[in-house]
């Protein structure tokens, strides 16, 4: 099963707001999802993006693929950098354990 981290549209017509969800890649944009991990509101003068860092990293470690927009938002928030650092440190620990 392919899992994606993507945006789910909520809000009124011409006033979009989004929830960041983890969903099966085959489900529709506003359809079933596995877990909600944040929200994104692009309409205020300064766009608002909040995400549960731990949940996002947990799903990235499990192999969930973020969409292009979510990838950019996660990168901007610093979540991807933290994910890469954790991955790098776990590799170093694995190599030390093997030696």
| Residue (of 69, 88, 71, 80) closest to 18 by Cα position | 69
Cβ pair 31, 12 in contact under 8 A: no
- Can you give the residue ranges of every domain in the chain? 3-98
Q: How confident is the model at residue 81 (pLDDT cuts 50, 70, 90)?
A: very high
For residue 3, the tally of other CB atoms under 10 A from its CB is: 16
| Residue (of 49, 54, 59, 57) closest to 7 by Cα position | 49
- The pTM for the full model equals 0.84
User: 73: which 2 tokens?
Assistant: 């938002």
Cβ pair 48, 26 in contact under 8 A: no
What is the architecture, at CATH level 2, of domain 3-98?
Answer: 2-Layer Sandwich (3.30)
Cβ pair 21, 41 in contact under 8 A: no
SS3 69: helix
Q: What is the pLDDT of residues 15-66, one digit of tens each?
A: 999 999 999 999 988 888 999 999 999 998 999 999 999 999 999 999 999 9
């Amino acid at each position: 099963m392919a899992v994606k981290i993507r945006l789910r549209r909520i809000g009124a017509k011409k006033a979009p707001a989004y929830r960041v969800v983890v969903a099966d890649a085959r489900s529709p944009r506003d359809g079933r999802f596995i877990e909600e991990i944040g929200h994104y509101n692009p309409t205020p003068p300064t766009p608002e993006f909040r995400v549960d860092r731990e949940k996002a990293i947990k799903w990235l470690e499990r192999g969930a693929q973020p969409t292009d927009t979510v990838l950019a938002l996660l990168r901007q928030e610093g979540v991807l950098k933290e994910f890469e650092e954790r991955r790098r440190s776990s590799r170093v620990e694995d190599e030390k354990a093997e030696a």
